[in-house]
Structure 1
Amino acid sequence: MSHEPLVTNLTLLYQTFAALHYISPTDIFSPPTTVNLDAATEAALSSEAIALLQRLPQLNPDLYSLPILPNGSQSVFYDDGDLDWSRRPTFQPEPEISKHAFVLSNPNIYGTSLIYDTTSEKLLPWEAWGKHVDLEIAEIENPFEMDDAKPVEQIMGPWIEKLLRLDWVPFGEELITEPDEANLVAMKGDVDVLEHDQLRFIKSSLRNVYLAAGWNDTANDLETAKKEFDGDLFEIKKLEWMKRTQEILDQAYDEGWTWSRIRTDLGLANSGKVTILDDWLPEGEQMRHIGL
């Protein structure tokens, strides 16, 4: 098996991160990737799994804590002296998946563990503390027969599209998405949630800076999306945006502005979602200070 879809899509994901200035192009290490063969053998990874790992691009190890998905999922590195975790996506004492499968990213506590199976050539995003909270992967005879396990392009393709469309916005060391409308309605009145979701709306609006610097969010491929993008101009405009936005947020707190006025001054989209927060707080209660 060639496993070309995994190699191609993982490479394109990292290249898209670089184009969006989430990482540097020099942070992408091209194959052959270093694998600790003794540790891989000790972990009982199959020869095909090991050979594939050597063909995959890898991020700079200094970026070990950088999320590669909005809900938190971090790159793993197979040059470790102990690779027992390579078959334990939820950190159980014993291997949870077959020797023909391996962990492609770890969940960082509450995020997603990406698991790839060299036999079926399917990718399984495992959300042990989310969608799959009531399941034990080790107790499933073949987790790659689950509906959630799909060919790589069906899973990673939409992720790359979300980056191209700026539905996922790189912000510092985060990938930001706007809050879900149903969750906003369900959590209305929770002050802690209010501050968190206000910040998500604000950070998501950095997409306007990308657009102002030439990013094409209607493109269907990376080359077209970045064709007119001026990275230097983006960095200048981003610093200006950060400074201006924080000044507005500081003034808003000092003067007790409403969320309606804050979002108006920040030029946030006047969508139904963002206006849900307008009357979130009990009357007379002031919002907390918001810091980028």
Structure 2
Amino acid sequence: MRPMFALVFCLLAFALGASVGSFLNVVIYRVPLGLSIARPASRCPACETPLRLRDNVPVLGWLVRRGRCAHCGAAISARYPLVELATGLIALALFVDFSRGLDPAMFGPHRFLPHVVVPFVLYLTFAGVLIAATFIDLDWFLLPDGLTLPAIPLGLATAYAAGSAIGVTWQASAVGAAAGAGVILVVGLVYGLVAGRVGVGGGDWKLLAAIGAYLGWTALPFVLFAATFQALLIALLYRRSFALDALPPDPRDLAPGAPPPGPEPLEPAESAAATPFRKLAVPYGPFMALAAIEWLLLRDDLRALAAWTRGLIHGWFA
């Protein structure tokens, strides 16, 4: 494929992803509060003035206004363009992946739609669910059923329709959904019996079931290991931000019309006398989502690493 066509397709993929990210910002803000994601139109969170079309352009709108509302001058969180940028980059990575590194053969009339467009749209939808779940869980320690439960059958359908693009069969998808739910439920039960308190959120098993449905059961060991390692690392570095007494309120308990609390910045532990580890509450959903994205984008390298590790271990004990 000519370089110019490749550039155009890549720009379109990024623009589509950034636009999806703009929609995800609406989902992240409104879904936990039980608000409609369709009406009203996007508006300034401070003065509630509807955003103009040019102010609503993903990433660029925020940069042009220098992160401030054009009407009242209130600061607009940098999270909005960051979510749009991250979603755009993930979309670009998925497009390049499914087009086999922009292989000209993938752009033929009978290959582009089934082998590039279909998996791109379906797995970008999966990435969108993960991004929305991440920020909702960080804000509220909540994974809404309206987000996680539909993702399970959608993941099964995606594996059936386009799973070959990432090496996943519908059978592996079904086992992954069941195993994902079962592992988290068992871990939560054991933790509750040992620690005497809830250690796994009610939405975690649904999210891991969705991840298993999309990525297949073979992805689950990596997702669980990487999520746990990354969660422990962040918890150790930012203990104060994850203290039990810093948990946000239930969004359903907010008074009608009351603005939700803004996301708190992560604060590194200042000393060894930081919050004891047993008194931390770390949302697991964001780290499962991060690990799932890592597997989706790096799956071939991770599978090769797993095969090399198995061969090495087999050689030791042979």
TM over 0.5: no
Higher helix share: 2
Whose relative contact order is higher, 1 or 2, with alpha carbons under 8 Å and at least 6 apart?
Answer: 2
TM-score, normalised by the number of residues in structure 1: 0.29
TM-score, normalised by the number of residues in structure 2: 0.27
Higher strand share: 1
